[in-house]
Amino acid sequence: MPLPKPTISSVPNRKLHSETSQSSSPCGEVHVIVGPMFAGKTTTLLRRIQAESTNGSFQAKLCKNYIQLDKAIKDLCFTGRLSEAVGLLWRTRLKADAGTYALLLQECIFRKDYKSGRRIHAQMVVIGTVAVIKSNKDTRYGLDSIVTHDGMKLPCWALADLSSLRQNIGADAYDKLDVIGIDEAQFFEDLYDFCCEAADHHGKTVIVAGLDGDYLRRRFGSVLDIIPIADSVMKLTARCELCGKRAFFTLRKTDETQTEVIGGADVYMPVCRQHYVNGQVVIEAARSVLESQKLQCA
């Protein structure tokens, strides 16, 4: 006996853009990506954002013009003519469908064409697909982009707190958003409240990337607090800088003791358990030598 044809509404946990209004179907999703520094959290966040945009959680209205535009852009992308594809989108002043924007963005990132990427991202925010946010405490690569350790880059909103997103992009643009990506989540104090509201009441898919632990392996910010409200949790590992094994922890190389110290490979390195323990011993020893030298000088 043939199975009944699946309808859009039978697809679990997926919504059309028109269903995301706050009054009708408010259910969104929360996905959490954690791990030590250099584990690929930001890279995974960028990939998931692209995948979400292509998945069809948001659908632009299809009409003849859109279909032709999408096909033309895709053909240009697939034959490596990215700048022509971006130019075509601009000249026609039509909205492409979400998958096409995602493809363009992916191409821009892949070809390191950040100028076009910025324009595509701005357009995606306006038409209502995705907003990418990072903490404005992360000043390592400038404030207007999230950047991976190997140079992938995406324009973003650098905010002090998540509750200011709506005000920054405007209520209309916020309502149209389907996907919200948050990087450096450990620095946002209002992470829990924001994720609850955005996913439970505003129907957003929220993808969160951040450090679960600090350099002393203590919980960092509110990242662990959102595990109970998450649909999925992904714990990534890096490579231990000292032996190449899987690295679960981040070792701080300097003698600063405050929790928040912005930095990259100059200050931190990912390490396995063995080298974390050894490293802590070495750092403690160095610290006490320094302390005693300071006392002698005094």
Ligand X SMILES: Cc1cn([C@H]2C[C@H](O)[C@@H](COP(=O)(O)O)O2)c(=O)[nH]c1=O
Instruction: Report in angstroms how near the CB of residue 146 gets to ligand ADP at its nearest.
Output: 8
The pattern of x and - marking residues 140 through 179 that bind ligand ADP according to CB under 6 A reads --------xxx-----------------------------
What kind and span of H or E run contains 283? helix 273-297
Residue nearest to ligand X according to CB distances in the complex: 214
Six-digit token string for 130: 């995705």
The pattern of x and - marking residues 128 through 157 that bind ligand X according to CB under 6 A reads ----------x-x-----------------
Return the number of the residue (178 or 184) whose C-beta is nearest ligand X: 184
Q: What is the 3-state secondary structure (H, E, C) of 94-151?
A: CCCCHHHHHHHHHHHHHCCCHHHHHHHHHHHHHHCCEEEEEECCCCECECCEEECCCC
Helix axis angle, 114-127 relative to 98-110, nearest 10°?
160
Return the number of the residue (37 or 154) whose C-beta is nearest ligand X: 37
What kind and span of H or E run contains 205? strand 205-210
In the region spanning residues 236 to 255, those forming contacts with ligand ADP, defined by CB under 6 A, are 238-239, 241
Binding region for ligand X (CB under 6 A) out of 73-81, 170-178, 199-207, 209-217 = 209-217
Q: Which residues of 257-279 are buried (b: 16+ CB within 10 A; e: fewer)?
A: eeeeeeeeeebbbbbbeebbeeb
The pattern of x and - marking residues 251 through 290 that bind ligand X according to CB under 6 A reads --------xxxxx----x----------------------
Return the number of the residue (151 or 170) whose C-beta is nearest ligand X: 151
Pairing type for strands 145-147 and 153-155 reads: antiparallel
Query: Strand, helix or coil at 238?
Result: strand
Instruction: Report in angstroms how near the CB of residue 238 gets to ligand ADP at its nearest.
Output: 3
Residue 153's closest CA among 161, 141, 169, 162? 141
Q: Is residue 214 near ligand X by the rule CB under 6 A?
A: yes
184 counts as catalytic: yes
Catalytic residue among 29, 52, 107, 184: 184
Q: How far apart are CA 15 and CA 249, in angstroms?
A: 37
Q: How far apart are CA 169 and CA 155, in angstroms?
A: 14
Q: Is residue 37 near ligand ADP by the rule CB under 6 A?
A: yes
> In what side-by-side order are the strands of the sheet with 205-210?
157-159, 130-135, 179-183, 205-210, 29-34, 232-235
Tally of residues, the chain: 298
In the region spanning residues 10 to 39, those forming contacts with ligand X, defined by CB under 6 A, are 37
Instruction: Report in angstroms how near the CB of residue 244 gets to ligand ADP at its nearest.
Output: 9
Which of the listed partners (ligand X, ligand ADP, none) does 260 bind, with a CB threshold of 5 to 8 Å by partner kind?
ligand X
Chain residues binding ligand X by CB under 6 A are 37, 41-42, 138, 140, 211, 214-215, 250, 259-263, 268
Instruction: Catalogue the active-site residues.
Output: 184
